[in-house]
Amino acid sequence: MSERRLADLLAMWRIRAFEEKVRDLRAEGSIVGSVHLCIGQEAIPVGACDALEPEDALFATYRGHGWAIARGVPVTPLFAELMGRATGVNGGRGGSAYFTAADHGFHGENSIVGAGAPIACGAALAGRFDGSGRAAVTVFGDGAMNQGAVHEAMNFAAAFDLPVVFVCENNGYSELTPIADMVRSDRLAGRAAAYGMPGHRIDGNDAEAVRFHMRDALEVAREGGGPTLLECVTERIAGHYIGDAETYRRPGEMDRIRRREPITRLREGLLADGVPAAEIDAVETRARGEIDTAARTALAAPLADPATVKEHLYA
């Protein structure tokens, strides 16, 4: 039992160490452009991706680095992508918010809020015709729940019994606006009933809880039972974007968030179960070592050649 949780801890540390390194690289100018970190939200991709099969299609948002890593995208070409290097997963053309890695079932980030949901319906529908048995997973935020495209996708998936899992990362904010200013009821999973599909509000800071519900939802989906909405309640420790002054935080909010964030909580659980502190801390050291090496390797690679700028363009 503690093996599984130590594996979750390593997977979460890989994402956190990656994100912290990205923050440093952005500050020193090795990464340019808009960057959104998922620090604090790591348990959702770690639990969810564990339940996916290689042929399943995942659609993430601009806050998608953690989902790519959990899906198995190697971190060296991922760093390289964010740094605009020729060795990046998309040759440095996608950057932080638009990369894709179809070889790993990661069908892209998307900076249009809620845009992944209808695309996931298309992937699921295509799977019905090509016989692949593929399920599709679309990830979006609490703010995206108010986008028309997400409503349309949920209704479409339900009406056609499509194998789609709608994963809402409810971190309580849309950019700088708290959810209480956006909706009258913040129980977002309850909306699933309106589409005739199951909806579950779960602890998004607990990878095991996410894995359990994801497995269940995928099983239903693969058996022809249609879509499920999983509202994963979490909190981001970083700002909305790098440079966000976070003046909207209430007094004591960050202290509360840090006490219940997934890595701290899992560490405390492992300690309570008698796992030695040295063994737990070695997990962080290992993850940071891997990430440092990957970042150094990526940084040493050549930048994308401007002469190739017109390649892969279709008009």
The footprint of ligand TPP (CB under 6 A) covers 63, 111-113, 140-144, 169, 171, 173-175, 240
Ranges within 5-64 binding Mg ion (CB under 5 A) = none
Based on the shown chain and the rule CB under 5 A, indicate whether residue 142 belongs to the binding site for Mg ion: yes
Cβ-based nearer residue to ligand TPP, 61 or 87: 61
Distance separating alpha carbons of residues 141 and 153, to the nearest angstrom: 15
Q: Give the interface segment with Mg ion, choosing from 142-150, 196-204, 220-228, 300-308 (CB under 5 A).
A: 142-150
Size of the site for Mg ion (CB under 5 A): 4
Least separation in angstroms between residue 297's CB and ligand TPP is 29
Distance separating alpha carbons of residues 106 and 128, to the nearest angstrom: 19
User: Using N-to-C axis directions, what is the helix angle for 277-300 and 75-82, rounded to 10°?
Assistant: 50
∠270-52-288 over CA atoms, to 5°? Answer: 45
The answer to whether 19 touches 41, Cβ cutoff 8 Å, is no
Cβ-based nearer residue to ligand TPP, 47 or 116: 116
Least separation in angstroms between residue 168's CB and ligand TPP is 8
C-alpha closest to that of 166 among 98, 226, 207: 226
Least separation in angstroms between residue 226's CB and Mg ion is 26
Cβ-based nearer residue to Mg ion, 72 or 178: 178
> Residue from 91, 114, 141, 262 that binds Mg ion (CB under 5 A)?
141
**Which residues fall within 8 angstroms of residue 101, CB to CB, at 6 or more apart?**
68, 71, 73, 78, 89
Least separation in angstroms between residue 171's CB and ligand TPP is 5
For residue 250, count other CB atoms closer than 10 A to its CB.
8
Instruction: HSE, CB side, 13 Å, CA atoms: give it for residue 305.
Output: 3
Based on the shown chain and the rule CB under 5 A, indicate whether residue 239 belongs to the binding site for Mg ion: no
> Residue from 41, 171, 205, 228 that binds Mg ion (CB under 5 A)?
171
Least separation in angstroms between residue 39's CB and Mg ion is 14
Least separation in angstroms between residue 104's CB and ligand TPP is 21
63 binds, among Mg ion, ligand TPP, none (CB under 5 to 8 A by kind): ligand TPP
For residue 144, count other CB atoms closer than 10 A to its CB.
22
Tokens of 30: 């090795």
